[in-house]
Amino acid sequence: MKDLPKTDLKSLNQQLKTGRYMLFFTADWCPDCRFIKPAMPQIENDYPEYQFLKVDRDENIDLAGEMNVMGIPSFIAYSDGKEIGRFSNGDRKTQKEVESFIDSLKIK
Respond yes or no: is residue 87 known to be catalytic: no
CA distance 65 to 44: 25
Q: Which of 4, 30, 55, 63 is catalytic?
A: 30
Residue type, 57: R
Among the listed residues 16, 22, 33, 55, the single catalytic one is: 33
d(CA 31, CA 16): 28
Cα angle at 106 between 97 and 101, to 5 degrees? 10
Contacts of 61 (CB under 8 A, 6+ apart): none
Indicate if 18 belongs to the active site.
no
**Active site positions, annotated:** 30, 33
